[in-house]
Structure 1
Amino acid sequence: MGRLIDARTSMNIDAMSPTVTDFFPSFVPVLMGQVGLNVPPDTTGIIRVQLTGMAGLFSSDPDDISTLILTIVRGTSPTDPQVFLSANNYNPEEAGFHTIEISAADYNVPAPASGVLAYSLFGMATSAMIGRVGPENLNASAYTG
């Protein structure tokens, strides 16, 4: 049976907004959630991390397909090792509010020397016509055994 090491939640936008006030810049990764799990450097056994999250958006490009790329990395930078990647496409006739649910896992994770195991959720749009309306969150739980 597994043993819980730590669990954390990052809530960037807590509820869906009925109005769009913030848009993703085109082709620029935007931090949407970040957690730091307390994992002792001397943790033995296989460490595994379960990740869940959510991203709410408003697609409004009337002329082209809009894509929101979501990535979860082990670390704090968009260039750190990817744990999850999804591309979510929206046709012009699908304009409106959308919610993307995320479920991912990281298996056989090395114990961090610093004692903090960080995960970050980034969103990157292919069009400046994708609004950030929420919710935006990232949850992580680390187990061993």
Structure 2
Amino acid sequence: MTRLLDARTSQNASTAGSMNGVGLTANQNVLIGQIGLATAGSVGAIRVQLSGVATFFVFSGGFITLTLFAVRGTEATDPIVSSNRIQLNPGATTPTNTFTLYLVGSDYNPESTGELIYSLFVHSTINVNRIGPESFNGTAYSD
């Protein structure tokens, strides 16, 4: 029977526009969420489900790539568990400059010493504003 081990949320902004335009500098990996999932007492394979969301305002046209990615660990260089990317040309192909990026992923049977740390990062190829909502969620299960 499946057993819930832990569930956590890292919440920066609950509603649209609530971050009031926090700047995101081009070509930098920026930490926007981090959770620690307790896995002590797990039996069999651990399974982790992750989800995240971030919304951006892009000032001007031009080609842009926005990437949202989750790692097992605390650094952007740790193993990537899940990622999502959008490439667009604001103004040329869309009627708005507001873009929401979602992440849904899973991690199967990670090694654990009692706690698994997951971090959510965002990367943009040009300067944009983070406007919200912005959150990161994780749930760990075992057999």
**Contact residue 59 and residue 97 of structure 2 kept, 8 A:** yes
Distance in 1 separating the partners of 2:124 and 2:20: 15
**Contact residue 9 and residue 138 of structure 1 kept, 8 A:** yes
Tell me if 1:97 matches 2:98.
yes
Tell me if 1:33 matches 2:46.
no
Kindly provide the amino acid, as one letter, of the partner of residue 101 in structure 1.
Y
Q: TM-score scaled to structure 2, two decimals?
A: 0.90
Q: TM-score scaled to structure 1, two decimals?
A: 0.89
Distance in 2 separating the partners of 1:116 and 1:97: 36
Q: Alpha carbons of 1:137 and 1:39: their partners in 2 closer, same or farther (altered >3 Å)?
A: same
Distance in 1 separating the partners of 2:56 and 2:75: 22
Distance in 1 separating the partners of 2:111 and 2:19: 42
Within 5 A, what are the aligned runs for 1:124-135?
A: 124-128=123-127, 130-135=128-133
User: What is the deviation of 1:19?
Assistant: 8.0
**Structure 2 gap segments, 5+ residues each:** none
User: What is the deviation of 1:28?
Assistant: 0.6
Kindly provide the amino acid, as one letter, of the partner of residue 87 in structure 2.
N
Percent identical residues: 39
Q: Which residue of 1 aligns with 2:12?
A: 12
Distance in 1 separating the partners of 2:105 and 2:19: 30
Q: Alpha carbons of 1:5 and 1:126: their partners in 2 closer, same or farther (altered >3 Å)?
A: same
**Contact residue 6 and residue 143 of structure 1 kept, 8 A:** yes
Distance in 2 separating the partners of 1:43 and 1:28: 36
Within 5 A, what are the aligned runs for 1:58-137?
A: 58-62=57-61, 64-93=62-91, 94=94, 95-111=96-112, 113=113, 115-128=114-127, 130-137=128-135
Q: Spell out structure 1 runs of 4+ moving beyond 4 A.
A: none
**SS of 1:70 mapped into structure 2:** strand
**Structure 1 gap segments, 5+ residues each:** none
Distance in 1 separating the partners of 2:89 and 2:81: 27
Count the aligned residue pairs: 140
**Contact residue 20 and residue 58 of structure 1 kept, 8 A:** no
